[in-house]
Chain A
Amino acid sequence: MIPGKYRSVSGRAANNVNCGLHLVIQTSTLPEKNKTEFRFSRDTSPFPGRLLQHDLERNYSSRQGDHINLVSSSLPSFPILQRSSEEKSLYSDRLTLERQKLTVCPIIDGEEHLRLLNFQHNFITRIQNISNLQSLIFLDLYDNQIEEISGLSTLRSLRVLLLGKNRIKKISNLENLKNLDVLDLHGNQITKIENVNHLCDLRVLNLARNFLSHVDNLHGLDSLTELNLRHNQITFVRDVDNLPCLQRLFLSFNNISSFDSVSCLADSTSLSDITFDGNPLAQESWYKHTVLQNMTQLRQLDMKRVTEEERRVASVVAKKEEEKKRESQKQSLLKEKKRLTINNVARNWDLQQRVSNNAINADRKDCASPPRDSCQLDGSTTSSLPAETGSLDSGLTSALQGLSVTDTHLVEIEGDTLSLYGSGALECLDRNWSLQTAGMVTTISFTFIEFDEIVQVFPKLKIKFPNSLHLKFKETNLVMLQQFNALAQLRRVDQLTVDPQGNPVVNFTLWKYYVLFRLSHFSMQKINGTEVTQNDMIMAERLFGILAHVASSELPQYRMISILGDARRKQFRYLLETKGKKPGIASEENNDSKRVMGENTNRATLNYTTKEWHNEKLEEIKEKKKFCQMYVEDLVKEATDINMKNEALQKLWPQMFIELVRDAVIEIRNKNTYMKVCLQQITDQK
Chain B
Amino acid sequence: MLSPERLALPDYEYLAQRHVLTYMEDAVCQLLENREDISQYGIARFFTEYFNSVCQGTHILFREFSFIQATPHNRASFLRAFWRCFRTVGKNGDLLTMREYHCLLQLLCPDFPLELTQKAARIVLMDDAMDCLMSFSDFLFAFQIQFYYSEFLDNVAVIYQDLLSGKNPNTVIVPTSSSGQHYQRPALGEAGMLEGVEASLFYQCLENLCDRHKYSCPPPALVKEILSNVQKLTFYGFLVALSKHHGINQALGALPDKGDLMHDPAMDEELDRLLAQVPGLVNATSEASCLPSRTSSRVGSPWRPLHHSRKVDTESDGSTEETDESET
Point out the residues of chain A lying under 8 angstroms from B110, CB to CB: 482, 609, 614
Assembly CA distance A538 to B21 (angstroms): 45
Assembly CA distance A541 to B41 (angstroms): 34
Interface residues of A in 516-572 (CB under 8 A from B): 520-521, 523, 534, 537-539, 541-565
B50 within 8 A of A: yes
Point out the residues of chain A lying under 8 angstroms from B270, CB to CB: 545-546, 549
Known: A541-B275, A556-B53. A547 touches B295 (CB 8 A): no
- Do A643 and B11 touch across chains, with their CB atoms under 8 A apart? yes
Point out the residues of chain B lying under 8 angstroms from A537, CB to CB: 278, 281
Assembly CA distance A311 to B245 (angstroms): 98
B321 within 8 A of A: no
- Do B103 and A482 touch across chains, with their CB atoms under 8 A apart? yes
B62 within 8 A of A: yes
- Do B28 and A543 touch across chains, with their CB atoms under 8 A apart? no
Closest beta carbon of chain A to B214's beta carbon, Å: 22
B85 within 8 A of A: yes
- Do B275 and A545 touch across chains, with their CB atoms under 8 A apart? yes
- Do A644 and B28 touch across chains, with their CB atoms under 8 A apart? no
A400 within 8 A of B: no
Known: A602-B313, A602-B317. A556 touches B292 (CB 8 A): no
- Do B94 and A558 touch across chains, with their CB atoms under 8 A apart? no
Q: Which of A555, A600, A602 is within 8 Å of B61, CB to CB?
A: A555
Point out the residues of chain A lying under 8 angstroms from B292, CB to CB: 594, 597-598
B260 within 8 A of A: no
Assembly CA distance A611 to B113 (angstroms): 12
Point out the residues of chain A lying under 8 angstroms from B21, CB to CB: 632, 636
A510 within 8 A of B: yes
Interface residues of B in 246-283 (CB under 8 A from A): 267, 270-271, 274-275, 278-279, 281-282
- Do A593 and B49 touch across chains, with their CB atoms under 8 A apart? no
Assembly CA distance A632 to B28 (angstroms): 8
What would 30 A/B residue contacts be, using CB atoms closer than 8 Å?
A368-B118, A368-B130, A481-B107, A508-B100, A510-B89, A520-B281, A523-B281, A538-B275, A545-B275, A546-B267, A547-B86, A549-B314, A556-B59, A557-B49, A558-B37, A558-B46, A561-B34, A562-B33, A563-B62, A598-B289, A600-B317, A606-B107, A614-B64, A618-B64, A631-B28, A632-B25, A636-B11, A636-B15, A636-B21, A640-B11
B96 within 8 A of A: yes
A45 within 8 A of B: no
- Do A625 and B310 touch across chains, with their CB atoms under 8 A apart? no
Which residue of the partner chain B has the closest CB to A366?
B115
Q: Which of B26, B99, B304 is within 8 Å of A508, CB to CB?
A: B99
- Do B106 and A482 touch across chains, with their CB atoms under 8 A apart? yes
User: What's the tally of chain B residues with a CB closer than 8 Å to chain A?
Assistant: 78
- Do B89 and A552 touch across chains, with their CB atoms under 8 A apart? no
B30 within 8 A of A: yes
A586 within 8 A of B: no
Closest beta carbon of chain A to B235's beta carbon, Å: 14
B111 within 8 A of A: yes
Assembly CA distance A562 to B35 (angstroms): 10
Known: A549-B274, A553-B313, A598-B285. A562 touches B92 (CB 8 A): no
Which residue of the partner chain A has the closest CB to B127?
A368
A431 within 8 A of B: no
- Do A553 and B309 touch across chains, with their CB atoms under 8 A apart? yes
- Do B62 and A521 touch across chains, with their CB atoms under 8 A apart? no
Assembly CA distance A278 to B79 (angstroms): 88
A649 within 8 A of B: no
A675 within 8 A of B: no
> Which one of A366, A559, A625, A627 has the highest number of Cβ atoms from chain B below 10 Å of its Cβ?
A559
Closest beta carbon of chain A to B76's beta carbon, Å: 16
- Do A544 and B88 touch across chains, with their CB atoms under 8 A apart? yes
User: What's the tally of chain A residues with a CB closer than 8 Å to chain B?
Assistant: 75
Closest beta carbon of chain B to A518's beta carbon, Å: 10
Known: A482-B110, A597-B288, A624-B33. A564 touches B299 (CB 8 A): yes
Q: Is the interface of A mostly helix, strand, loop or mixed?
A: helix
Assembly CA distance A366 to B56 (angstroms): 35
Closest beta carbon of chain A to B39's beta carbon, Å: 11
B171 within 8 A of A: no
Assembly CA distance A563 to B37 (angstroms): 11
Known: A366-B118, A556-B59, A597-B296. A625 touches B11 (CB 8 A): no
- Do A538 and B278 touch across chains, with their CB atoms under 8 A apart? yes
Point out the residues of chain B lying under 8 angstroms from A369, CB to CB: 114, 118, 130
- Do B279 and A534 touch across chains, with their CB atoms under 8 A apart? yes
Known: A594-B296, A598-B289, A601-B295. A543 touches B84 (CB 8 A): no
Known: A546-B87, A644-B11. A541 touches B278 (CB 8 A): yes
A42 within 8 A of B: no
A599 within 8 A of B: yes
- Do A628 and B29 touch across chains, with their CB atoms under 8 A apart? yes
A621 within 8 A of B: yes
Closest beta carbon of chain B to A226's beta carbon, Å: 83
B104 within 8 A of A: yes
A629 within 8 A of B: yes
Which residue of the partner chain A has the closest CB to B94?
A509
B316 within 8 A of A: yes
Interface residues of B in 213-270 (CB under 8 A from A): 267, 270
- Do B62 and A556 touch across chains, with their CB atoms under 8 A apart? no
Point out the residues of chain B lying under 8 angstroms from A624, CB to CB: 29, 32-33
A58 within 8 A of B: no
Closest beta carbon of chain A to B93's beta carbon, Å: 11
- Do A598 and B295 touch across chains, with their CB atoms under 8 A apart? yes
Interface residues of B in 85-142 (CB under 8 A from A): 85-89, 92, 94, 96-97, 99-100, 103-104, 106-107, 110-111, 114-115, 118-119, 122, 130
Point out the residues of chain B lying under 8 angstroms from A547, CB to CB: 85-86, 107
B159 within 8 A of A: no
Point out the residues of chain A lying under 8 angstroms from B106, CB to CB: 480-482
